[in-house]
């Protein structure tokens, strides 16, 4: 089945923020040979769907602005997304409400590459406080993350996430 890529129109059937061709170019430019080594574009499409699904689950409540339509399948496009590092004086710049930012598309490609190794959001297991096997002991710190974090992706997206930089999201209880 062909991959339905979000174009900025707020498609109801979108499955990915980036096309296979664009993801392939992105990875080729960075020298990520694991992407080129995949068996087929069908596998690449599956990985891009997994990456997009992860992004929706991970970031849906954290994006700046609002989705442009209640019927769109994905979180982008959005409106009212201010860019903190663009604008003139007191006149801020905003992401156009009919685009998917290149950083969002590239983050999807990065996560798709990570998905080659296994699930992006694996099932959580109880945290091991102490484990001793022979002379080796492993003790996880209290509050240690139980699931992987993709710091490079978080860094790519931080300008589009609420609470990034010097301002934060105000929540009233």
In this structure, what token pair is assigned to residue 88? 């003139």
Confidence tier at 15 by pLDDT (50, 70, 90): very high
Q: Which residues contact 26 (CB under 8 A, 6 or more apart)?
A: 18, 106, 109
> Looking at residue 145, what is its pLDDT?
59
**What residues does each domain of the chain span?**
20-160
88 DSSP β-pair partners? 91
What's the mean pLDDT when you consider all of the chain?
Answer: 88
Measured in residues, the chain has a length of 173
Question: With contact defined as beta carbons under 8 Å apart, do 83 and 96 qualify?
Answer: no
Question: With contact defined as beta carbons under 8 Å apart, do 121 and 54 qualify?
Answer: yes
Rounded-to-integer distance, Cα 170 and Cα 173, Å: 10
């Amino acid at each position: 089945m062909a991959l339905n890529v979000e174009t900025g129109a707020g498609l109801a059937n979108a499955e990915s923020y980036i096309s296979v061709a664009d993801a392939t170019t992105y990875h080729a430019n960075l020298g990520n040979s694991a992407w080129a080594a995949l068996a087929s574009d069908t596998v690449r499409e599956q990985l891009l769907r997994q990456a997009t699904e992860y992004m929706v689950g991970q970031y849906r409540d954290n994006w700046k602005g609002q989705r442009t339509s209640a019927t769109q399948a994905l979180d982008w496009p959005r409106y009212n997304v201010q860019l903190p590092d663009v604008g003139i004086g007191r006149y801020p710049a905003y992401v156009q409400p009919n685009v998917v930012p290149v950083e969002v598309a590239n983050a999807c490609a990065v996560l798709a590459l990570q998905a080659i190794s296994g699930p992006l959001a694996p099932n959580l297991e109880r945290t091991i406080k102490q484990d001793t096997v022979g002379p080796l002991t492993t003790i996880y710190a209290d509050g240690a993350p139980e699931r992987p974090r993709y710091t490079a992706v978080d860094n790519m997206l931080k300008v589009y996430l609420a609470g990034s930089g010097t301002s934060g999201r105000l929540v009233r209880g």
